[in-house]
Amino acid sequence: MKKKIVLWIMTALVACALCGCGYSRNIDGTPADENLPGGSAQVNGTASGGGSNPVAPATPVVYEPFDESRLSDEYLVGMDYFTGDFLELAPTVIVNVRYDGRIEVDFDHRLSNGEVFTDTVFFDLTDEQFRNISDGIDLKRLYNLDPEESDPETTCDGGFSSLIIYDRNGEAYKNCGGFCPMNKDFNNMGWVIYENLPEEFIEYCDHYKLAWQREVDFDPYDYHSEEFKTKYGVFLDYDGDLSELDKYNYIVIDAQYHSRDEIVDFTNGYQKYVYSYINIGSIEDFRDYYDRFSDLTLGNYDNWDGEKWVDVSDPGWQDFILNELAPELLEKGINGFFVDNCDVYYNYPSEEILEGLAVIMKGLKGMGCDVIINGGDTFLDAYCASMGSWTDVITGINQESVFSYIDWDNDALTFASDEDREYFTDYIERYGDQGAYIFLIEYVDDADEHRTLRSGIKNYCEEHNYLYYISDSIDLN
């Protein structure tokens, strides 16, 4: 669904000039004259370049009659959004106008290691913007018209434009338009969408286009660095409604204790991400599966009563994580996993434990979602040294207590030692420089003497474009 329309290439643009397409947009996307935006070349199999040289018609395509019962109840209409001016290469993205008053857009991102992933981003329309679009779109008229049929009074030729009607399965019921459309009604519908797009979307696309043209990575975390730096939160013991966390854009919860509807409602907001805690290296006695695997425990987990390290090399444990627990969490609509206690390898450094963790982590990564490892430095370094690349097993790292320190003996929060800080900053920067997303959790209370600690964390993360969360409680509730 919502496939990307093939990107403009230079020869196509030159062809546009040769065909005499008279319409162009200014650099800000507004019409170069008072005509409306153009765009289509082939509907019902008839092609016309919009210029003076006729093109022989292709074999006509016969469409079935318009059937309103087949229309999507999720998407009003889709539109290609091309931001390039004449002879300027730029990416095309598909803007889908939703009936819930938002637009939904897919952006492709490329990591420094060459890996590409698609990020779906939502932008809110104002009531007026949505009303203008819905009033201006006539799906039956759009379905039946020929975009290449010029109007006697006005010729709106030039450019590339496509409007998409969706069916109930979210697939294209009909893709209307293409190269150099001339029909006034078609162009009116395209323009009513174009002129009612939110400023946030246009600004986002401008940054996306610039990165695309420079052939550099476009990082949504970096783009939102100023606005969303402190919009990361970790709430493992949170039992309230997720809507109360709407000021955060990236949250970690224990999805076992939240419903799919609640999670999906949160993720469908603008740029909301939900990662679920998943514990693969230890097991807590409050989990409903504790008794099934208590015989696999290796020893007590210091400072956490009721929790024990678990033998990750056991095939039964691996099967449970990858074929039961993880799929159940994904079914709830999360964006990825926040994976805890790969430090089992630090405490039990055997080849079997390393290989067992590798099986689980590669399995989670193979599910096609984000995998954020919490800590796990000993495992990750060992894996990269002898088994493969970090991209096999993670997309990012969350590191606790880089600058802060939990003094368990005195039940206090304080400063990390210089040695620990240098070790962990080296760890996260080493992988962050290679393209891994970096998150920090710091435990700092509101004591006056900790003001410099808070400001130091903030300054460091802003300098490196890392997301961070400062909690005054180790319970993360």
Domains defined for the chain, CATH in brackets: 10-214 (no CATH), 220-471 (3.20.20.70)
Q: Quick one: the chain helix, strand, coil %, rounded to 5?
A: 35, 25, 40
pLDDT (0 to 100) of residue 294: 95
In this structure, what token pair is assigned to residue 24? 């162009």
Name the one residue in this structure whose structure tokens are 């509101």.
446
User: Is 439 in contact with 402 (CB distance < 8 Å)?
Assistant: no
CB neighbours of 334 closer than 8 A, spacing ≥ 6? Answer: 255, 263, 267, 274, 275, 276, 369
Q: In this structure, which amino acid lies at residue 248?
A: Y
CB neighbours of 310 closer than 8 A, spacing ≥ 6? Answer: 281, 282, 283, 293, 296, 297, 298, 317, 344
pLDDT (0 to 100) of residue 37: 31
pLDDT (0 to 100) of residue 16: 42
pLDDT (0 to 100) of residue 220: 52
Q: What would the pLDDT profile of 69-96 be if each residue is shown by its tens digit?
A: 999 999 999 998 876 665 567 777 889 9
Q: Give the chain's residues under pLDDT 50.
A: 1-56, 112, 221, 223-230, 270
pLDDT (0 to 100) of residue 114: 58
Q: What would the pLDDT profile of 3-34 be if each residue is shown by its tens digit?
A: 333 333 333 433 343 333 433 333 233 333 33
Q: Which of 473, 397, 378 is nearest to 438 (CA)?
A: 397
pLDDT (0 to 100) of residue 245: 87
Helix, strand, or coil (residue 327): helix
Q: Which of 137, 141, 139, 145 is nearest to 43 (CA)?
A: 145
pLDDT (0 to 100) of residue 154: 58
